[in-house]
Structure 1
Amino acid sequence: MHFDEIWRIIEGSDPNLLLGWREASGSKELQARRAVLDSKTFEDLVGVCRGIVGQMCSPGYEEIPYHAHWHVDRERTYSRIALDEIPQRPATEEEGSELVPSRLLGLMENANDLSLLAKQDIEKTNLLFFAITFRRRGRRVAFVRKTDPKRALKKGLIQLRFVPKLTTVRNPDLVLEEVVDLIVTNDEVYVLSSQAYEQLLSDVPVAAHEVPIYLASVERELGAGIPLAADSRTALEKVCQSRPSAAKRLRELPNRLQKIQLDSGEKLDAAKLEKIIKRHKPQISLVDGGGLAFGEDGVNDFFDLLEGRWFTDDLGRREKRRALKYNLRP
């Protein structure tokens, strides 16, 4: 969906305001409800979205591709990801099918059908995000911000209060920032904050989706002198595909390897790794040609080895890593 179509949708329909949270127990999945809006708030909410779209269309604002080491700066860049490229999650019994979109995407798709949220429900709920949504002739767009709108006041915010509908006042119940992290349409997600994207879509492996790219980057940094054995590569890819925490560590590893070379003034080689392996005895071995060999149970040690997460940083000179190892979280 191009910006001109997004513009037509927000100018040609009334906004809805969704308030979302994560369940405190059980599945901990995202939930959202619609707030009852006073029509006096419409122009303010439309103005926020109009300003975001205008900023993204301005000269100097750049789209950058979604790739292994992406980082978006909401003041200058964004990434755009097609919905069919975002991983899906296993469906619950109630949902019926085998795979379904991320819970957040499902909530945005069905925004107009969500139940209404009363003031007393908001007061007892720890909110995680809000979304300003629009729908026009079957086309939809949602502007999502990961923040608790009940938090302390800041300048440049829309302040809303129940009287009994949400309206703008000086002593608000909710505070909406004029900033968004994601724009969700029928076809794609515009990402202005990679952190919010990963956290709000944490029920699908968005980081793991790019594991092959991350792995190729790591192999380039290791170079021909420290190849990964075929079984090691398979084990690393399998673990990172199933564990988002492992995928994130893999994503950051090329930066760590570059830092090692800057700190030590020398390129990492098999001889250095052999000394470290003998000292710490991880579930990793060196094979002929200096290659690293390990199975799935050695993936955590592989990361600890190259991140320097033992008692001292064996690889870099200045940077000291955290002393204790940590386990990968499923």
Structure 2
Amino acid sequence: MTTIVVVVLLVVLLLAALRLWLTANRLDRLHVRTEAAWAALEGALSRRIVATRAAAAAGAFSGPDADRLRQLTRQADRAGRATRADAENDLSRALSTQPPVKAELAAELLDAGERVALARSFYNDAVRDTRALRAVWFTRLFRLAGRAALPDYFEITDQVSASASERTAARVVLVDERQRVLLFSFTDPQGIPTWFPTGGGVEPGEDLRTAAVRELLEETGLVLAADDLVGPIWRRSAQFVFTGVLYDQTEFYFTACAPPGFEVDIAGFTDVERHSITGYRWFSAADLTSSTDTFYPLELAARLGEVHRALGHEGVAGRMVEIS
């Protein structure tokens, strides 16, 4: 009996040690990711400062406005990390009051603003994931964060376009026979992959199901009928910048099963997809929870069970869930 107790204690200790190592390792990678994201954000903010100064030097703004913008860029450039958001917000507000400038100057300012918006989004995603892991009781109990500072969000007004364009998208969470989900990726400003299910914008004259099966065919080569889709099971609202345009997008998520032995064929990619999508991969639930990459929707890992239940026709009563 004593031997059994000793064995059980050893197993428990080994499991605890394994969890300690895995959690500490993941937390360390998240802190590294957050710092890399901050470096990318600083680079994007500096680029906007340079673009603003260049536009002022080229006579894009009136005399008093140009002087004011130069002063604000100096303040933003010299601001420390704790006060950088306030300084950048002052610059954003000043830029938003300026009348349209020449096309060549506007393009550079627009591109710089887009890069700031993207970099800020990825930085805040990294901060969110780091803070979430640090808030877990296991992390706090064993003080796995050590003396590392708790990262703060960076909130500023993105000055990309005057108003957002509304867009509706249909997406498909495609699952294979091993219950893995297919995701595509693009690379964020600090080189970290961001993953998302297949899908895209609904074109004029299409309904959601028609758009979903068309996007699925274009991006994967899989031919499905509209009735092969289950859902929509989720609805998500998102705001993002793409090619200099700010979008307010409403996404509807369907799910479907890939046939056994199915292989992804990306020959149907559009030119935009060829330039923006950097890869694809099948993810298991364990892959999603262990990775420090960014996944959209953000709740995908936690809600993957809903996908499997929907495909098994369990509890699918036409109820659509709002997700983030």
Normalised by the size of structure 2, how large is the TM-score? 0.25
Q: Relative contact order: is structure 1 or structure 2 higher (C-alpha 8 Å, sep ≥ 6)?
A: 2
In proportion to residue count, which structure has more helix? Answer: 2
Normalised by the size of structure 1, how large is the TM-score? 0.25
